[in-house]
Structure 1
Amino acid sequence: MMKFANYFLRFQNSYYGNIRSANSSCPTTDVKWCIDGFDGYKLCIENPSILPTCILALMIGLFCSKRISQLPGEFPSRWYYHLTFFLYGIMMSSAGILHCFLNDDTKSFTSLAVAIIDVGLTSNIAVSFLFCGLCDIQFLNPKSATTRWLLFTTYSIIFILWTFGLTKQWSWAFNVLYTGVVSVCCFIYLITQLSIKSKHHALPALFVGGLYGAIGLLAGSFGADAVCKSEGPFWSQYFGPEFIWFLFSDISVAFMFLYVIRANREQRILVKTYPIDFEKYPGKL
Structure 2
Amino acid sequence: MVKFANYFLRFQNSYYGNIRSANSSCPTTDVKWCIDGFDEYKLCIENPSILPTCILALMIGLFCSKRISQLPGEFPSRWYYHLTFFLYGIMMSSAGILHCFLNDDTKSFTSLAVAIIDVGLTSNIAVSFLFCGLCDIQFLNPKSATTRWLLFTTYSIIFILWTFGLTKQWSWAFNVLYTGVVSVCCFIYLITQLSIKSKHHALPALFVGGLYGGIGLLAGSFGADAVCKSEGPFWSQYFGPEFIWFLFSDISVAFMFLYVIRANREQRILVKTYPIDFEKYPGKL
Fold-level similarity (TM above 0.5): yes
Moved more, 164-173 or 269-278: 269-278
Contact 1:4 1:166 in 2 (8 A): no
Q: 16-25 or 37-46: which moved more?
A: 16-25
Aligned with 2:260: secondary structure?
Answer: helix
Aligned-residue CA RMSD in angstroms? 4.8
Q: Which moved more, 1:34-43 or 1:79-88?
A: 34-43
Separation of aligned partners in 1, 2:261 and 2:279: 33
1:251 match: secondary structure: helix
| Deviation digits for residues 8-41 of structure 1 (CA, Å, limit 9, x no counterpart) | 3258999999999876443221110001111111
Q: Which residue of 1 aligns with 2:57?
A: 57
Change (3 A) 1:14 1:260: farther
| Distance change >3 Å, CA 71–CA 14, structure 1 → 2 | farther
Aligned to 1:33, what secondary structure does the other structure show? strand
- Alpha-carbon distance, 1:230 to partner: 2.9
Which residue does 1:217 correspond to in 2? 217
8 Å contact from structure 1 (residues 2, 107) kept in 2? no
Contact 1:7 1:166 in 2 (8 A): no
1:48 Cα deviation (Å)? 0.2
User: 1:57 touches 1:93 (CA, 8 Å); kept in 2?
Assistant: yes
| CA distance in 2: counterparts of 1:219 and 1:162, whole angstroms | 23
Give yes or no for the alignment of 1:12 onto 2:3: no
Query: How far apart in 1 are the matches of 2:230 and 2:3?
Result: 36
The question of whether the paired residues in 2 share the 8 Å contact of 1:19 and 1:225 is answered with no
Deviation at 1:281, TM superposition (A): 11
Distance 1:282 1:58, change over 3 A: closer
- Structure 1 stretches of 5 or more lacking a match? none
Q: Which residue of 2 aligns with 1:170?
A: 170
SS of the residue aligned with 1:44? strand
SS in 2 for 1:49: helix
Contact 1:58–1:92 under 8 Å retained in 2: yes
**1:20, 1:28 within 8 Å by CA — same for their partners in 2?**
no
Which stretch shows the higher mean deviation, 20-29 or 245-254? 20-29
Aligned length: 285
Once the two structures are superposed, what CA deviation does each residue of 1:175-220 show, in whole Å capped at 9, x if it has no partner? 3222332222112111111110000111111111111011112222
TM-score (norm 1): 0.89
- Structure 1's 7 and 90: CA in aligned 2 closer, same or farther, altered over 3 A? closer
After superposition, the Cα gap between the structure-2 partners of 1:275 and 1:18, relative to the gap in structure 1 and judged at 3 Å, is farther
Q: Deviations over 1:62-91 (max 9, x none)?
A: 000001001010000000000000000111
For residues 200-246 of structure 1, give each alpha carbon's deviation from its aligned partner in whole angstroms, at most 9, with x where no partner exists.
Answer: 11111111111101111222223223322332332222111111111
Question: Alpha carbons of 1:192 and 1:41: their partners in 2 closer, same or farther (altered >3 Å)?
Answer: same
The percent identity for this pair of structures is: 99
Equivalent residue number for residue 265 of structure 1: 265
* Larger deviation, residues 23-32 vs 188-197: 23-32
Q: Is the contact made by 1:134 and 1:192 (CA closer than 8 Å) also made in structure 2? A: yes
Instruction: Please give the alpha-carbon distance, in whole angstroms, between the structure 1 residues aligned to 2:156 and 2:185.
Output: 17
Provide the TM-score with structure 2 as the length reference. 0.89
Aligned partners of 2:88 and 2:125 also within 8 Å = yes
Q: 1:282 to 1:217 in 2, by over 3 A?
A: closer
- Cα offset for 1:253? 0.5
Listed one character per residue, the Cα deviations across residues 131-185 of structure 1 (whole Å, up to 9, x for unaligned) are 1011101111111111111111111111111111111112222232223322221
Tell me: CA distance 1:163–1:267, structure 2 relative to 1, closer, same or farther (3 Å): same
